[in-house]
């Protein structure tokens, strides 16, 4: 039997947005995602977009009305 890699389960957390009362399940960030945040030398004007992208990529389950990144930005 050949080695096929590891199956890692990340901890998941439920987040409810107070302004929209929508529920999301987020997984914790992996090491490369954390390093991307720590090591990014971006301008203050781009930080919100960078953080929103990281959060969107970490979503495990989302409300039915969130289908894309643009939907996420409009509803958060």
More confident residue, 66 or 48: 66
Q: Does residue 1 fall inside a structural domain?
A: no
**Domain span including residue 66:** 12-75
Q: Does residue 2 fall inside a structural domain?
A: no
Q: Does residue 7 fall inside a structural domain?
A: no
Total structural domains within the chain:
1
For residue range 47-60, list pLDDT tens digits in order.
788 888 888 989 99
- Residue 41: per-residue pLDDT: 67
For residue range 11-37, list pLDDT tens digits in order.
999 988 888 788 889 999 888 888 877
Q: Does residue 4 fall inside a structural domain?
A: no
> Residue 14: helix, strand or coil by DSSP?
strand
Q: For residue 75, give both structure tokens.
A: 């509803």
| Beta-carbon contacts of residue 25 (< 8 Å; ≥ 6 apart) | 12, 13, 14, 15, 59, 60, 61, 62
């Amino acid at each position: 039997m050949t080695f096929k890699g590891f199956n890692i389960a990340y901890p998941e957390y439920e987040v409810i947005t107070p302004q929209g009362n929508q529920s999301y399940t987020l997984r914790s960030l992996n090491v490369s995602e954390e390093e991307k945040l720590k090591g990014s030398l971006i301008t203050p004007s781009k930080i919100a977009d960078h953080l929103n992208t990281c959060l969107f990529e970490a979503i495990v389950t989302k409300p039915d009305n969130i289908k894309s990144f643009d939907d996420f930005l409009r509803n958060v």
